Structure 1
Amino acid sequence: MEIIDAHQHLWQLARPECQWPTSDLTPIYRDFSAADFNAVSGPVGVSGSVLVQSQPCAADTEYLLQQAEVNAGVGAVVGWADLAAPESPRCIAQLARHRKLRGLRPMLQCIAEPDWIIRPAQAPGLEAMITARLSLDALISSRHLGAIRQLAARYPELNIIIDHGAKPNIAEGQWGDWYEPLAALAAQANVSCKLSGLITEAATSAELTQTGRYIEALWRLFGPDRLLWGSDWPVLNLQSDYPSWLTFCRQWLNANAPEAEAAVLAGNAKRLYRIQ
């Protein structure tokens, strides 16, 4: 069965724009290359990926696009652009000329104002994204869900993909104030969600089974056509490893929704990110 990893990162610590990860994050405080990714993903049957930005900097986007050019397995790149900049429409149009750029991620979790994305200053950049057919990856937590719902209603043509299930605080058992606004957001047809990043929201040394309730919720809300599997590698290494996370998700799908396995593991990513 074809598998497309809808969320992976690459970085080089020596690059000037690389400000994260920091040295306290020992398991991931080193360079991660495309060869490293292929070494962990290839043996478990992953044939392609979506390469996602990790630094809020245009230089990081250029680096990822360069990596995509020389790595055939990278089917799409989600980069970064300053949506608040007056020149953002021009910059976005220029970025969109790259044959593998398929989305932008403004790293909303790092912005103090939860409604930043729906403020008037961001409108020209968002409209430029729609014109260029670029998706918006939403790196958010529960505090942003209301604003993203407004965004989705305001721009029904904008393809919005929620990263990491909106990062529920699994370690503290967060539920209602995550699930209820996420359910309201999921009612918007232009919103999809990644089955990724959940284990890193659990307590230290937590078992993967602790994510099961949250996987079930994401499945219930987004269903077979709007859920995409991703690893969030190498951030995943903080709590688990690549084969374990993939195996656990496949086992869950086989037990609960075997008919949707092909879509969640590859088909939805190919369609939503226009991977050829």
Structure 2
Amino acid sequence: MRIDSHQHFWKYDSVKHAWINSEMEVIKKDFLPTDLVPLLKDGKMDGCVAVQADQSEKETDFLLQYAKEYPFILGVVGWLDLCSKDIEERLINYSKYPKLKGLRHIVQDEDDDYFMLRPDFLDGISKLGDYGLTYDILIYPKQLPAAVELVKMFPKQPFVLDHIAKPNINGSIDKEWKHHITELGTFQNVYCKASGMVTEASWGTWRPKDFYPYLDIVFESFGKDRIMFGSDWPVCLLSAQYQKVLCILKKYLVQFPASVQSRIMGLNAKEFYNL
């Protein structure tokens, strides 16, 4: 089974999607399941995981409705307010949706680099396991130290790092990023998505080999059983079409046997999200 572990849907709204600035005209429009179908087919992908792009329960409902209508959407990573005092009530309410596989908070936009260590956030994270939910860590490299502390506190909670923590892909490996990625990889409950890389490189002018030194570190840190492919479509369109994103990993993985390629391209996501 081949699975795209990370993509988004939205009906473009200039207020809700204010993060899409004037340099991102190409994604200032609707991106719906019917738009993704031919891309998955061309890439020989069997399904996908839809991930939240807006921090609201309406967004979670929006994705769950699509998952109900389109069988190829195998799971949803939604949003609930993990800092809310009524998080338990919200989790109970959403436990009736079998395709809700995990939650995510857009921590990269928080001013506090240690937002994830807030007592109320930690309380929310502590409840996810009771409902079989994973947690996607979306951060910048400067927030990696907090991520390390977070996963250290919850050794039984499944975590996955999105977009390899968004390092600046410019040919010069940041030593701090490498150090913390290596450290994060020592925790067996933490996975990593080989996703979102093309938008951290020079848009449209990168070459596949530009990503290999970063992927080397990720593979050394997390190993073949805890890495999964994600396209980050349609955000990836800022820098590359879907098939070009897919080809980066396809070319990198030729050094591994077919069994490893199968894990990275789908089986790891299937196991992590219980798809």
Quick check: TM above 0.5? yes
Q: Which amino acid aligns with 2:172?
A: G
Residue 21 of structure 1: CA displacement? 2.6
Corresponding position of 2:225: 225
Distance 1:144 1:76, change over 3 A: same
8 A contact 1:93–1:128 mirrored in 2: no
Matched, 1:253 2:269: no
Q: Which amino acid aligns with 2:243?
A: P
After TM superposition, the structure 1 = structure 2 runs for residues 69-148 of structure 1, keeping only pairs within 5 Å, are 69-148=68-147
Deviations 1:163-215 (A, max 9, x none): 00111111373421101011111111111000111111012322232111111
Matched, 1:61 2:92: no
TM-score by length of 2: 0.95
Deviations 1:22-54 (A, max 9, x none): 443111111001010112121220110010000
Matched, 1:158 2:157: yes
Corresponding position of 1:273: 273
Q: Which amino acid aligns with 1:169?
A: N
Distance 1:129 1:235, change over 3 A: same
Structure 2: how far apart are the matches of 1:114 and 1:93? Answer: 30
Report the 3-state secondary structure (helix = DSSP H, G, I; strand = E; otherwise coil) of the residue aligned with 1:147.
Answer: helix
Q: Which amino acid aligns with 1:229?
A: F
Distance 1:98 1:231, change over 3 A: same
Distance 1:171 1:57, change over 3 A: farther
Structure 2: how far apart are the matches of 1:216 and 1:7? Answer: 21
Residue 258 of structure 1: CA displacement? 4.1
Report the 3-state secondary structure (helix = DSSP H, G, I; strand = E; otherwise coil) of the residue aligned with 1:170.
Answer: coil
Report the 3-state secondary structure (helix = DSSP H, G, I; strand = E; otherwise coil) of the residue aligned with 2:88.
Answer: helix
Distance 1:31 1:150, change over 3 A: same
- The CA RMSD over aligned residues, in Å, is 1.6
After TM superposition, the structure 1 = structure 2 runs for residues 180-199 of structure 1, keeping only pairs within 5 Å, are 180-199=179-198
Residue 108 of structure 1: CA displacement? 0.7
Q: Which amino acid aligns with 1:53?
A: Q
**Aligned length, in residue pairs:** 274
Distance 1:158 1:81, change over 3 A: same
After TM superposition, the structure 1 = structure 2 runs for residues 26-65 of structure 1, keeping only pairs within 5 Å, are 26-65=25-64
* % identical equivalent positions: 30
Structure 1 residue runs of 5 or longer lacking an equivalent are none
Structure 2: how far apart are the matches of 1:67 and 1:21? Answer: 22
Q: Which amino acid aligns with 2:66?
A: Q
8 A contact 1:89–1:124 mirrored in 2: no
8 A contact 1:12–1:18 mirrored in 2: no
